């Protein structure tokens, strides 16, 4: 169901951690919350297992414990409810990158049947890594092959953020034996592609200006001073983003890369992709993400006949979620790319 929230009460999103529960189990728990303030729970129209709630409901949900009533004691109904691990408060647009990468891998007939090795290049605090894990696990289960597993290599160069990433991966993916996450505190730019010869997909969500985040977006609109101050920073960021995307393209067996930012600046988005494509003209193509075929807002382009129609944009004022950019790249030899 599509929600209808106005600007002041824009919704909050709750991703069910399907490594540990089903959405039905979580919905049953949330429906059992006894409170004077009732709220309506929606299922998101674009992201599977994503619940949409009013902002006032999140504190209630996060503080909810189970165990008292007979119904709560019935594990079949409640699953293993723990607000720290059963759900993840993750904004809708931030769920797009993992969804796009898994939909590309699942749509590729050759990759679909193999064990998967993936990489999350700039991973902390791990929202997208753990989302990748949940979606990959679901895809492995659907394939019906018992031995099929997914390994995710997750990097972050910052020591403290890497520690947080490790803790969250341990807590959220714990118990799901279809997925293994190996985290490492390392600068992605120095990761040697030859050491990861079997990686097939990379999610790259590098540091960005955050200009699409709703609060920043509104702030920027009202401050030319801030915009001017940001020019030098923007140049540095877009150079790093370009280097990181170029590096991702150099992993020998990688077939798909999903590049994303929570920025609304073309300098960090479309321009970064074009700069990389210009350096590897025949190896990589922009492809549409199968999972977001019905998403209307696309990349910014001067003409209609460009690859921007395959890029995803999210408008922070129109789309009830933070501004975002997602671009999927496929190696030209890949099964999917050859069909474009
Ligand atoms: N994908 C994360 C998530 O959804 O939870 C958010 C990633 S955040 C936008 C960018 C991260 O990239 C930061 O944690 C930062 O420490 C990390 N980072 C920045 N430069 C890096 C580099 N050269 N190598 C690895 N990680 C880097």
> Would you state the CATH architecture of domain 93-339?
3-Layer(aba) Sandwich (3.40)
Instruction: Report, as residue numbers or ranges, the catalytic residues.
Output: 262
E-strand ranges in the chain read 12-16, 42-43, 50-53, 87-89, 116-120, 150-156, 179-185, 201-204, 256-261, 284-287, 312-314, 324-331
Residue for token pair 């933070």: 322
Six-digit token string for 216: 């920043």
For ligand 1, what atom is nearest to the CA of residue 244? 23
For ligand 1, what atom is nearest to the CA of residue 161? 14
Q: Where exactly are the structural domains of the chain?
A: 7-89, 93-339
For ligand 1, what atom is nearest to the CA of residue 261? 9
Does the beta carbon of 315 sit less than 6 angstroms from any atom of ligand 1?
A: no
Does the beta carbon of 184 sit less than 6 angstroms from any atom of ligand 1?
A: no
Confidence at 70, pLDDT banded by 50, 70, 90: low
pLDDT tens, position by position, 130-156: 999 999 999 888 876 666 789 999 999
Ligand 1 centre distance from Cα of residue 125 (Å): 8
Residue 33 pLDDT > 90:
no
Ligand 1 centre distance from Cα of residue 203 (Å): 11
CB 308 within 8 A of CB 206: no
ipTM over 0.95: yes
Backbone angles phi, psi at 15, to 5 degrees: -90, 125
Which position has the higher pLDDT, 267 or 64? 267
Backbone angles phi, psi at 257, to 5 degrees: -125, 135
CB 57 within 8 A of CB 64: no
Pick the residue whose CA is nearest to atom 14 on ligand 1.
124
Ligand 1 centre distance from Cα of residue 294 (Å): 29
Confidence at 2, pLDDT banded by 50, 70, 90: very low
265-291: burial string, b at 16+ Cβ within 10 Å, e else: bbbbbbebbeebbeeeeeebbbbbbbb
Q: Does domain 7-89 have CATH number 1.10.3470?
A: no
């Amino acid at each position: 169901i599509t929600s209808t929230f106005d600007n002041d009460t824009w919704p909050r999103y709750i991703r069910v951690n399907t490594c540990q529960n089903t959405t039905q189990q979580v919905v049953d728990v949330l429906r059992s919350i006894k409170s004077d303030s009732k709220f309506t729970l929606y299922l998101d129209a674009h992201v599977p297992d994503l619940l949409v709630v009013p902002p006032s409901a999140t504190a209630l949900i996060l503080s909810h414990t189970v165990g008292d009533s007979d119904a709560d004691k019935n594990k079949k109904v409640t699953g293993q409810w723990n607000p720290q691990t059963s759900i993840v408060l993750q904004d809708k647009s931030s769920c797009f990158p993992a969804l796009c990468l898994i939909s590309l891998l699942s749509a590729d007939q050759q990759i679909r049947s193999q064990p998967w090795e993936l990489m999350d290049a700039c991973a902390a605090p791990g929202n997208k890594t753990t989302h990748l894990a949940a979606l990959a696990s679901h895809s492995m289960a659907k394939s019906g092959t018992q031995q099929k597993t997914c390994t995710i290599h997750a990097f972050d160069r910052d020591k403290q953020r890497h520690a947080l990433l490790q803790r969250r991966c341990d807590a959220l993916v714990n118990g799901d034996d279809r997925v293994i996450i190996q985290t490492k505190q390392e600068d992605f730019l120095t990761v040697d592609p030859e050491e990861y010869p079997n990686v097939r997909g990379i999610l790259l969500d590098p540091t960005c200006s955050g200009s699409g985040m709703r609060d920043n977006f509104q702030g920027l609109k009202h401050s030319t001073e801030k915009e001017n101050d940001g020019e030098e920073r923007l140049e540095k960021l877009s150079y790093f983003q370009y280097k990181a995307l170029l590096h991702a393209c150099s992993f020998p067996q990688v077939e798909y890369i999903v590049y994303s930012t929570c920025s609304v600046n073309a300098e960090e988005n479309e321009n970064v992709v074009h700069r990389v494509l210009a350096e590897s003209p025949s190896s990589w193509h922009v492809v549409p993400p199968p999972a977001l075929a019905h998403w209307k807002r696309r990349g910014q382009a001067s003409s209609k006949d460009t690859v921007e129609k395959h890029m995803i944009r999210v408008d922070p004022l129109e789309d009830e979620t933070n501004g975002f950019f997602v671009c999927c790249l496929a190696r030209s030899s890949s099964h999917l790319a050859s069909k474009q």
